């Protein structure tokens, strides 16, 4: 299973998730694993649902099981189970003032720049830690993200406001170096920027359940509020489907601010 996933160029994170899901199913199943038992698969997924697993996680388990029987066992039998309906929660978006509060509370320059760039360019945490100096074109104010989510490259904008901080930060280092290296010089763990964000969030007293990814949500929402066409926002975020980007229109305040409540 692992070799087949690697040959198909699945990301290391997806491979680990698929193998973990399959291991859990094997532990749950009491029958012959070489044969598809639809009712047993359903029971396994319902057990996850009873334990309050998110729909996305249940779908991941189902994907792993389907991959195993389709590509490893090579069973011609279909698994007629539909994917769990995903929740339609609105993303948590921070205001511009809240983002300024968070950044101002961070005194470590590298940590502050990590968060500022994540917001200013709409980056995922995995993209922040993988970023190399050579990926930045400071003359054109662009960032080339290589093998981002789904193995796709994309170009996003570099915030001009960060030029005075980034230029000396990246100077006198090899262009192939990580922009935000660990203390040992290698790649940072994704947990590091997430932890920096959580500490700053608590420090400034913001109570909402925001995460590092909220910086990316805020980037998209604020661009729409500034009048940027949604198609451009879709490209900057690297979304395949415009529907994914459209959810940010539901949390944009630009239209709401022009509407008066009838309660007067």
Domains of the chain: 2-72 (1.10.150.130), 96-256 (1.10.443.10)
Distances (CA, A) of 170 to 5, 74, 159, 180, 185: 36, 50, 15, 9, 13
> Has 89 been annotated as catalytic?
no
* Separation of alpha carbons 204 and 69, rounded Å: 50
* Separation of alpha carbons 22 and 72, rounded Å: 12
By mean pLDDT, which of 34-38, 43-47, 103-107, 199-203 is the weakest? 34-38
Residue-wise pLDDT for 15-65, tens only, equals 999 999 999 999 999 878 888 999 999 999 999 999 999 888 999 999 999
Active-site residue among 187, 213, 235, 247? 213
Of these ranges, 84-88, 102-106, 150-154, the one predicted with the greatest mean pLDDT is: 102-106
Of 199, 24, 222, 20, which is closest to residue 122 (Cα–Cα)? 222
Active-site residue among 48, 216, 217, 222? 216
> Has 213 been annotated as catalytic?
yes
> Has 248 been annotated as catalytic?
yes
Residue-wise pLDDT for 156-197, tens only, equals 999 999 999 999 988 889 999 999 999 888 899 999 999 999
> Has 53 been annotated as catalytic?
no
Active-site residue among 124, 130, 132, 222? 124
* Separation of alpha carbons 17 and 59, rounded Å: 11
| Residues sharing a CB contact under 8 Å with residue 201, sequence separation 6 or more, in sequence order | 102, 210
Helix (H, G, I), strand (E, B) or coil at 252: coil
pLDDT value at 254 more than 70: no
> Has 111 been annotated as catalytic?
no
Residue-wise pLDDT for 83-99, tens only, equals 877 767 788 999 999 99
Helix (H, G, I), strand (E, B) or coil at 178: strand
Mean pLDDT of 202-206: 95
Active-site residue among 66, 149, 235, 247? 149
pTM for the full predicted model: 0.75
Active-site residue among 70, 71, 239, 247? 239
Mean pLDDT of 252-256: 66
């Amino acid at each position: 299973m692992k070799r087949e996933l690697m040959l198909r160029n699945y990301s290391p994170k997806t491979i680990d998730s698929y193998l973990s899901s399959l291991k859990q199913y094997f532990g749950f199943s009491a029958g012959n694993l070489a044969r598809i038992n639809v009712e047993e698969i359903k029971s396994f997924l319902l057990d996850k649902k009873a334990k309050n697993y998110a729909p996305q996680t249940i779908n991941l388990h189902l994907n792993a099981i389907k991959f195993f029987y389709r590509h490893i066992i090579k069973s011609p039998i279909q698994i007629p189970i539909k994917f769990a309906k995903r929740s339609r929660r609105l993303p948590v978006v921070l205001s511009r003032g809240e983002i300024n509060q968070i950044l101002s509370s961070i005194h470590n320059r590298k940590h502050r720049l990590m968060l500022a760039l994540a917001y200013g360019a709409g980056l995922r945490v995995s993209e922040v830690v993988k970023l190399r100096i050579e990926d930045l074109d400071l003359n054109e104010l662009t960032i080339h993200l290589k093998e981002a989510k789904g193995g796709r490259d994309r170009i996003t904008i570099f915030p001009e406001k960060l030029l005075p901080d980034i230029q000396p930060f990246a100077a006198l280092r090899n262009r192939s170096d990580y922009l935000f290296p660990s203390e040992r010089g290698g790649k940072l763990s994704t947990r590091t920027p997430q932890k920096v964000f959580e500490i700053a969030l608590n420090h400034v007293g913001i109570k909402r359940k925001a995460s590092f990814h909220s910086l990316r949500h805020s980037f998209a929402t604020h661009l729409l509020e500034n009048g940027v066409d949604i198609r451009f926002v879709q490209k900057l975020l690297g979304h395949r489907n415009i529907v994914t980007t459209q959810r940010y229109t539901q949390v944009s305040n630009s239209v709401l601010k022009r509407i008066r409540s009838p309660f007067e």
